[in-house]
Amino acid sequence: MSYASQVKTELLQAENDACCEMSLSRGMLLFGRECAPAAISILTENGEIAAAYAKAARLFCGHTPEIHVSESGNFKVVINDRADTDAILGEVLPAGMNGRRQLAIGPIDKDCCRAAFVRGAFLASGTVTDPDKEYHLEFSCPSNRLAAELKELIGAFGIEMKQTRRGGANIVYLKKSGDIEDLLLRMGATETSMMLMGSKMFKDVRNTVNRRVNFENANIARSIAAAGKQYHAIETIEKYGGLGQLTPELRELAELRLENPDLSAGEIRKLLKDPLTLSGVNHRFKKLIQIAEDLQDEHK
Q: What is the pLDDT of residues 87-133, one digit of tens each?
A: 888 888 886 644 567 788 888 888 899 999 999 999 999 999 888 88
Q: How far apart are CA 76 and CA 54, in angstroms?
A: 10
Cβ neighbours for 215, distance < 8 A, ≥ 6 positions apart:
221, 224
Specify the pLDDT at position 223: 81
| DSSP assignments along 5-18, one per residue | HHHHHHHHH----H
Look at residue 185 and tell me whether its pLDDT is greater than 90.
Answer: no
Q: Is the dihedral of CA 50, 45, 77, 143 positive or negative?
A: positive
Relative orientation angle of helices 248-259 and 278-299, to the nearest 10 degrees: 90
Yes or no: say if 35 and 29 are a contact pair by the CB < 8 Å rule: yes
Q: What percent of the chain has a predicted confidence (pLDDT) above 90?
A: 38
Span 129-142, mean pLDDT?
89
b/e code 115-150 from CB counts within 10 Å (16+ = b): bbbbbbbbbbbbbbbebeeebbbbbbbbeeebbbbb
How many CB atoms are located within 10 Å of the residue 61 CB?
21
Q: What is the pTM of this model?
A: 0.64
Q: What is the pLDDT of residues 202-246, one digit of tens each?
A: 666 666 666 665 545 566 778 888 888 998 989 999 888 888 889
Q: What are the start-end ranges of the H helices in the chain?
A: 3-13, 18-30, 47-61, 82-92, 111-125, 144-155, 177-187, 190-213, 218-239, 248-259, 265-269, 278-299
Phi/psi region, residue 108 (left: phi>0; alpha: psi -120 to 50; beta: rest), is beta
Yes or no: say if 63 and 74 are a contact pair by the CB < 8 Å rule: no
Statement: 3-191 belongs to CATH 3.10.28.10: yes
Yes or no: say if 272 and 256 are a contact pair by the CB < 8 Å rule: yes
Q: How far apart are CA 115 and CA 113, in angstroms?
A: 5
Span 39-50, mean pLDDT?
91
The pLDDT mean for the chain works out to 86
Q: What percent of the chain has a predicted confidence (pLDDT) above 70?
A: 89
Domain locations along the chain: 3-191, 215-299
For 49, how many CA atoms within 13 A lie in the half-sphere containing its CB? Answer: 31
